[in-house]
Structure 1
């Protein structure tokens, strides 16, 4: 898909079951007709400049892009302790997590995206959320998880086929997502007959797309320029494929 020029961007207030949320919308300036849309789920610190930049870059590719707010308009973690507590709450309450993602999908469609061509992507905590959207079989074409957690909850829908296509982009040295979790995820995808891919990046740990994570792999989370660049290209190819279908 060709570039369409700079995006039109704005913050958007919406809600989920009475909770006020504040997302960020980026819309391509040019082009006619319905366009595919991508929901972006933030990492554990909430919507930040990195997430907004991701929305801008996606809109420059011709997509409607909406940065979802999982936490609430008045809830922005101020430090890692708060971020860990808040993200942990949603990972322990996955029905609520899924509800917030569904609300973002609905908001993206309301903004003008093609309801038949929606994807969900996410980073770290958001990558976990993207996989929840697939597990829940939301009406989307596919999901992309950047260095997200791969664990799942017990679910009565577990035997159902996962219909959205799945792409997992994973740091080969990520200490927070051990190989045992990766193996369990692969078995889950096989048992639910998903169309899935998992790409490992050498010398990459957790948060490899985040420039603010620094460059010290020994901390377990660090930026890796090569993995960040390659993963973005892999995502672009995946989106082109699922929307072409």
Structure 2
């Protein structure tokens, strides 16, 4: 009986690996070629919910791809967005900071790139009325920008993302539900930024939640961030697991 169960598990594993695979997808913003990754779920529900993933400041990485694969296992169409462009991938931290800084400042261009990726998620098969945007670090900032732009999504999730915006920008009504998963000791998002964000959420009439994780700093979901909190960015296994559970609960609620 045990042998039969083992064989069945192997068959199911092979079946999933042969079906739910990340596929490179080229698309464009004007003349700029973008190249993201899409993946379909193992089993397709009639609602066809989808999740758009926005990567951290280095652009598409193993972490974002792994998350897309995990979401496909849960039954979601997933697409990993390319914000920078196929020929504009940063080679080091200096370039990553410059690229991310540009889109944080030119938030309308960031929002446009997010929308273009959303279009690809729908082309992949996701129901346009059943979509959530999630992002890590710089991508978490993008998820918040998707809410500020009121893109056609049911909700957004920011993992250890930047929350600030220029004070000259007006505060408008925010329709998507907002979930912020935040390191309680994140030195890169000062208290003033958190307070301003919460004030914005209240003024916008948003349905928002903010969860703090103890002993966690920036990049707490990134296993390659090391374990030294004194550096400001470090992996925290417990916060990583808890935040993923919070994501799954949020997806079930809004999708």
Q: Residue 150 in 1 paired to residue 168 in 2?
A: no
Which position in structure 1 is the counterpart of 2:147? 134
Which position in structure 1 is the counterpart of 2:81? 68
Q: When you count helix as a share of all residues, which structure comes out higher?
A: 2
Q: Residue 121 in 1 paired to residue 167 in 2?
A: no
* Normalised TM-score (structure 1): 0.94
Which position in structure 1 is the counterpart of 2:200? 188
Tell whether the 8 Å contact from 1:26 to 1:65 is kept in structure 2 after alignment: yes
* Normalised TM-score (structure 2): 0.91
Which position in structure 1 is the counterpart of 2:39? 26
Deviations 1:175-224 (A, max 9, x none): 00011111111100000000000000000000000000000000000000
Which position in structure 2 is the counterpart of 1:240? 252
Q: When you count strand as a share of all residues, which structure comes out higher?
A: 1
Give SS of 1:35's match: coil
Shift of 1:34: 4.2
Shift of 1:152: 1.5
Give SS of 1:173's match: coil
**Distance in 2 between residues matched to 1:205 and 1:31, nearest whole Å:** 37
Tell whether the 8 Å contact from 2:45 to 2:75 is kept in structure 1 after alignment: no
**Distance in 2 between residues matched to 1:178 and 1:86, nearest whole Å:** 22
Select the residue among 204, 210, 214 that pairs with 2:226.
214
Gaps in structure 1 of 5+ consecutive residues:
none
Gaps in structure 2 of 5+ consecutive residues:
1-14
Select the residue among 57, 60, 66 that pairs with 1:44.
57
Deviations 1:131-176 (A, max 9, x none): 00000000100000000000023334x2x32000000000000000
**Distance in 1 between residues matched to 2:87 and 2:50, nearest whole Å:** 26
Give SS of 2:127's match: strand
Q: Which has the larger radius of gyration?
A: 2
Tell whether the 8 Å contact from 2:47 to 2:130 is kept in structure 1 after alignment: no
- The equivalences for 1:220-235 within 5 A come to 220-235=232-247
Q: Which segments of structure 1 move beyond 4 Å, counting only runs of 4 or more?
A: none
Q: How many residues align?
A: 238
Bigger Cα displacement from structure 2, 202-211 vs 6-15: 6-15
Which position in structure 2 is the counterpart of 1:96? 109
